[in-house]
Amino acid sequence: MTTPDARERREYYRITDRIALQIGPAEGASGETAPLFALLSELHQLEFESRHLLRNLDERDRAITACLRLVHKRLDLLGQAFAWNLMHDSGATREVVLSEGGLAFVHTEPLALGTRLELRMALPPQGLGLQVRAEVTSCQAVAGGHEIGTSFIELEDAQRQLLARHVLRQQARGRRADRGEDA
């Protein structure tokens, strides 16, 4: 038997965040990822995959590890420049509720349940760019439009890991801010 608390428990942790978001119909999309979004996702995925290698190398040769960390920082700055351009082109950021499983946002028009969307997200401050497909799971009228709840579909494991890292970083940043530390 499930308790009310168990029914309300979420599968993924959710955060409120400000991101650049482009919303389009999935039917009209060719399934191809926009080049800049693909590049940013690949940069972040490669950085994620190389972390354990750098830790192992650090035990053997600190000078090479230090050099590779500098190269990584340079690449990270390039990624942030791309992300800044992407966010600038996407328009103003908007407040959303984000998790590994989906996204909720306010939209001017109502969307029918089950509608499939193509979402392009630029997540500051790391400059993570993701293009994902989502399905509308809820639509409620609110002041200023309609609150749309979506669930990600066909999300690759690498994309889910990048989202999880972003959510954890933002959660930690929020906790530090609540304690009065520098975020």
**What does each C-alpha distance from 161 to 48, 80, 156 come to in angstroms?**
9, 19, 9
How confident is the model at residue 8, as a pLDDT?
43
How many CB atoms within 10 Å of residue 163? 24
How confident is the model at residue 82, as a pLDDT?
73
163, HSE (Cβ side, Cα atoms, 13 Å): 22
How confident is the model at residue 52, as a pLDDT?
77
CA distance 120 to 159: 12
pLDDT tens track, the chain, 183 positions? 334 444 444 677 889 999 988 898 886 545 555 677 667 777 777 777 787 788 888 788 888 888 888 888 888 787 777 777 766 666 678 999 999 999 999 999 999 999 999 998 888 877 777 889 999 999 999 998 999 999 999 888 888 888 988 899 898 888 888 888 754
Using the 8-state DSSP alphabet, how is residue 34 labeled?
P
Entry field: residues in the chain: 183
Task: Say which residues have a Cβ less than 8 Å from residue 2's Cβ, sequence separation at least 6.
Answer: none
- pTM of the predicted model as reported, rounded to 2 decimal places: 0.71
SS3 182: coil
**Structural domains of the chain sorted by starting position, each given as residue range(s) with its CATH number in brackets:** 15-178 (2.40.10.220)
How confident is the model at residue 22, as a pLDDT?
86
CA triple 106-111-113, angle to 5 deg: 115
Structure tokens at 5: 């608390």
Task: Say which residues have a Cβ less than 8 Å from residue 65's Cβ, sequence separation at least 6.
Answer: 54, 57, 58
